């Protein structure tokens, strides 16, 4: 009889306990093996998500359109500002704070709320980017959109970084003093009273390698240029500078493209002259109307926060309708080119349209049926139920005429006109109608 190994004994007898050092080692190896198989199966079925920290591109194992990310959350182009080698002294430090404090600029990227904020390396990269940047905006909220005005409300200078609080900063006022109370005995009163509103500001950190160089206000503004523009601009200039060139030209030329947001439409055309809310199928939408006849009339259909249809109507011409999304590709990191307008425009067919019977199907008659609905076709009394047919009214019968009977028979008197005396309780008779039509005795 051959000897069986420990593993074979355990396989042949699962109830056999393993004791000692060899048993513990075998059990540990079995558990690790099973855990490794589960990880391998999960990795094979799960989708791999890759984030490029240099470009900010987020991919999920797919290629093409699904592997793109909004250009507002991608990596910035590094600046090239000459930094002096001398360190920042106390005098220059005060001058720098005096030059930048309460300075106003325009946001070039979305600024999230929260204590962490964004970190920009001097002449370097932005952190975070891509999916982490987007998740921060979604979880913490949005403090400023691209094109919004920003105010440097507080500046803190550290050993190798400068921290800017924008629009009041993300921290509430007197954050630590709210936990301090002063009083004698059980009667205690907080140092800071009142419940202020939650802060809506943002935070931006400008980081350096080893030390803080001797900078001027102009140097700091040049380093922050990818995120904040301190140039004198109008609100529309500040907003369009954050967009691609083709989209910027369309807004400045007062053209509305399918895929624009409501902010872009307002910057391009201004507030609408009229608005109407309607529903097409199960989709509600809002129609923005610009212009009045005899001038050109533009109908902008908006669903949610995006334009889904643009119709341009000119006097004496056929309306032109645009339904192709032209902005989606421009806002991607790959910079998909704009589709020519000639390929997207189509003429609206109005009035009596002549159809070619050889190439076009006839138009279906109007019906109350839903698409794809079939009515029941039960057979009852030789008739097919469920189909709509013309209503058949009964033919009226001619009225009876005296002497119209060809056989000469006397016409029967209606039973309701025959009366017979019916005795009452006193014994006297009274004339009443008999149900059989005769006289009762």
Average pLDDT of the chain to the nearest whole number: 75
pLDDT at 348 over 70: no
- Give the pLDDT mean for 125-139: 92
pLDDT digits (tens, 9 = 90+) for 295-331: 899 999 999 889 999 999 998 889 999 998 888 777 7
CA–CA distance, 437 with 236 (Å, rounded to integer): 98
Q: What share of the chain is helix, strand, coil (3-state, %, to 5)?
A: 25, 25, 55
Predicted confidence at residue 331, as pLDDT, reads 74
- Indicate whether 350 pLDDT > 50: yes
Which range is least confidently modeled, 120-124, 208-212, 372-376? 372-376
**92 with 100: CB under 8 angstroms?**
no
- Does the structure show a pLDDT above 80 at 246? yes
203-244 pLDDT, tens digit per residue, is 999 999 888 999 999 999 999 999 999 987 888 888 888 888
Instruction: Please say whether the dihedral angle defined by the alpha carbons of residues 430, 435, 437 and 441, taken in this order, is positive or negative.
Output: negative
- Coil, strand, or helix at residue 393? coil
Q: Mark residue 290 as left, alpha or beta (left: phi above 0; alpha: psi -120 to 50; beta: remaining).
A: beta
pTM, 2 dp: 0.54
Q: Is 301 helix (H, G, I), strand (E, B) or coil?
A: strand
Q: How confident is the model at residue 185 (pLDDT cuts 50, 70, 90)?
A: confident
pLDDT at 345 > cutoff 70: no
For residues 438 and 347, what is the distance between their CA atoms, to the nearest angstrom?
84
Q: What is the CATH number of domain 253-347?
A: 3.30.1450.10
**How high is the pLDDT of residue 392?**
83
pLDDT value at 48 more than 60? no
* Helices and strands (H, E) in the chain, number of each type: 9, 23
């Amino acid at each position: 009889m051959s000897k069986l190994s420990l593993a074979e004994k355990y396989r042949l007898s699962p109830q056999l306990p393993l004791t000692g050092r060899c048993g513990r080692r075998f059990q540990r190896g079995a558990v690790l093996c099973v855990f490794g198989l589960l990880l391998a199966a999960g990795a094979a079925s799960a989708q791999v998500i890759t984030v490029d920290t240099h470009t900010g591109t987020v991919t999920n194992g797919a290629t093409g359109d699904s592997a793109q990310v909004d250009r507002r959350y991608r990596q910035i182009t590094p600046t090239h500002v000459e930094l002096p080698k001398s360190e920042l002294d106390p005098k220059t430090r005060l001058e720098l704070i005096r030059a930048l404090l309460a300075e106003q600029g325009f946001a070039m990227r979305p600024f999230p709320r929260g204590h962490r904020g964004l970190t920009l390396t001097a002449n370097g990269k932005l952190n975070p980017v891509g999916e982490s940047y987007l998740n921060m905006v979604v979880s913490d909220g949005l403090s400023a959109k691209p094109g919004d005005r920003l105010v440097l409300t507080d500046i803190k200078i550290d050993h190798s970084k400068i921290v800017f609080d924008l629009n009041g900063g993300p921290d509430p006022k007197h954050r630590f003093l709210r936990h301090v109370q002063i009083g004698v005995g059980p009667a205690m009163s907080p140092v800071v009273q009142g419940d202020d509103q939650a802060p809506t500001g943002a935070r931006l950190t400008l980081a350096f390698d080893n030390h803080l160089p001797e900078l001027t206000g102009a140097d700091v503004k040049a380093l922050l240029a990818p995120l904040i523009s301190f140039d004198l601009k109008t609100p529309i200039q500040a907003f369009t500078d954050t967009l691609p060139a083709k989209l910027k030209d369309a807004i400045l030329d007062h053209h509305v493209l399918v895929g624009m947001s409501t902010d872009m439409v307002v910057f391009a055309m201004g507030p609408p002259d009229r608005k109407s809310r309607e529903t097409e199928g199960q989709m509600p939408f809002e129609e923005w109307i610009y212009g009045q006849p005899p001038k050109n009339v533009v109908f902008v259909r908006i669903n949610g926060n995006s334009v889904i249809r643009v119709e341009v109507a000119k006097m004496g011409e056929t309306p032109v309708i645009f339904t192709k999304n032209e902005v989606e590709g421009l806002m991607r990191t790959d910079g998909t080119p704009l589709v020519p307008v000639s390929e997207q425009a189509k003429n609206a067919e109005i009035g009596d349209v002549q159809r070619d019977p050889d190439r076009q199907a006839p138009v279906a008659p109007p019906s109350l049926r839903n698409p794809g609905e079939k009515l029941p076709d039960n057979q009852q009394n030789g008739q097919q139920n469920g189909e709509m047919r013309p209503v058949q009214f009964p033919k009226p019968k001619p009225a009876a005429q005296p002497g119209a009977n060809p056989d000469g028979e006397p016409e029967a008197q209606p039973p309701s006109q025959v009366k017979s005396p019916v005795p009452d309780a006193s014994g006297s008779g009274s004339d009443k109608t008999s149900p059989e039509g005769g006289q009762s005795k």
